[in-house]
């Protein structure tokens, strides 16, 4: 495994992050493909043995069950101080007034609920899942600073939004002497590169680590374009992504397949290796529900694409509207 710092912070992380959305009590919440505790156990064991130290979940994943499984399996396979637990808040967890959003009330309620489910007394990286357009930025940033000052959280992260919105939140923290975000979790892959225009240059300039979600475009880069996917049949959000430019997407997927064939490796390995050629990226977040998913991701660390291969992968891309924002 390789390691880096998360942006300009002192937090050391593995260059792969295990995404835990796939681990949760089946049928609980919106993630119908999730694996229960026993089926999740081999993936956590393999990740720890491979040297992966970062586990990314969210309170909303399987309505808290993902946090419960993540916390339990981390305790089974490693020491708490050897890993980085990242979780998120903001999405609806119920019908109560503080069950969603980024108000002070929501933040104070949800951080304690996540700590309880994870079975830990601190969260390494606490991330806002999306913007809360109803709550003043000052209220959100002060409350997030307070949970850091309390010792319940060590670092703060954000997720998909426009670069100007992220800059506003960072400026607000700076203006008041509050805790800044150290990371941006955004959608970034060969089929969605809009973050290269403003967000990633801003992150590089400001020393903010980028930890992309959906680096394989919900599996679209791992198979022939248009091939059926049982996962997408259960993933309403994923099924609605990557539908803006079929001609461009098809050509990109074909380029991934051609280079994979030339190198004698999987498509997933090529698509993930592309991220490691990007200076803004600290570590992509990978999902794994089959052993080969984790094996391909780890192998991608050793695949160094040439400048010509990177150019071939990127050439068919055409500008599109950003997706995945709230």
**What kind and span of H or E run contains 172?**
helix 163-176
Residue of 23, 61, 126, 317 marked active site: 61
Q: How far is CA 247 from the centre of its chain?
A: 27
| Predicted local distance difference test score (pLDDT) of residue 230 | 61
| Predicted local distance difference test score (pLDDT) of residue 238 | 64
**Per-residue pLDDT band at 225 (split at 50, 70, 90):** confident
115-163 per-position pLDDT tens digit = 999 999 999 999 999 999 999 999 999 999 999 999 999 999 999 999 9
| Predicted local distance difference test score (pLDDT) of residue 67 | 98
Mean pLDDT of 150-179: 98
pLDDT averaged over every residue in the chain: 94
**Per-residue pLDDT band at 233 (split at 50, 70, 90):** low
Q: Which two tokens stand for residue 186?
A: 């955004």
Mean pLDDT of 40-63: 98
Catalytic site includes residue 122: no
Mean pLDDT of 248-263: 98
Domain segments of the chain as ranges: 3-314
63-109 per-position pLDDT tens digit = 999 999 999 999 999 999 999 999 999 999 999 888 999 999 999 99
- The CATH number that domain 3-314 falls under is 3.20.20.100
**Per-residue pLDDT band at 239 (split at 50, 70, 90):** low
Select the more confidently predicted residue: 86 or 324.
86
Of the ranges 27-31, 225-229, 262-266, the best mean pLDDT one: 262-266
- The full 3-state SS of 203-259, as one line of letters, equals HHHHCCEECCECCCCCCCCCCCCCCCCHHHHCCHHHHCCCCCCHHHHHHHHHHHHHH
């Amino acid at each position: 495994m390789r390691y880096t710092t998360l942006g300009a912070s002192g937090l050391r992380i593995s260059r792969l992050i295990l995404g835990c959305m796939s681990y949760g009590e089946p049928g609980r919440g919106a993630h119908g493909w999730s694996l229960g505790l026993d089926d999740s156990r081999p993936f956590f064991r393999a990740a720890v043995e491979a040297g992966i130290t970062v586990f990314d979940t969210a309170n909303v994943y399987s309505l808290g069950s993902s946090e419960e499984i993540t916390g339990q399996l981390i305790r089974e396979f490693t020491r708490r101080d050897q890993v980085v637990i990242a979780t998120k808040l903001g999405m609806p967890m119920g019908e109560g007034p503080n069950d969603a959003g980024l108000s002070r009330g929501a933040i104070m309620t949800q951080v304690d609920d996540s700590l309880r489910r994870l079975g830990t007394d601190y969260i390494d990286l606490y991330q806002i899942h999306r913007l809360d357009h109803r709550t003043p930025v000052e209220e959100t940033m002060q409350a997030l600073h307070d949970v850091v000052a309390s010792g319940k959280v060590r670092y703060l992260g954000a997720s998909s939004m426009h670069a100007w919105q992220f800059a506003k939140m960072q400026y607000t923290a700076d203006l008041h002497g509050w805790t800044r975000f150290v990371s941006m979790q955004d959608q970034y892959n060969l089929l969605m590169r809009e973050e290269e225009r403003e967000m990633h240059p801003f992150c590089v300039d400001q020393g903010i680590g980028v930890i992309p979600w959906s680096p394989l475009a919900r599996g679209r880069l791992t198979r022939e374009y248009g091939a059926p996917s049982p996962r997408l049949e259960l993933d309403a959000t994923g099924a609605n992504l990557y539908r803006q430019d079929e001609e461009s997407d098809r050509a990109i997927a074909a380029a991934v397949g051609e280079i994979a064939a030339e190198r004698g490796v999987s498509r997933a390995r090529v698509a993930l290796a592309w991220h490691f050629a990007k200076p803004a990226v600290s570590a992509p977040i990978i999902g794994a529900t089959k052993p080969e998913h984790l094996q391909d991701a780890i192998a991608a660390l050793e695949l160094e694409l040439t400048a010509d291969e990177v150019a071939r992968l990127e050439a068919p891309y055409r500008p599109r509207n950003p997706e995945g924002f709230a």
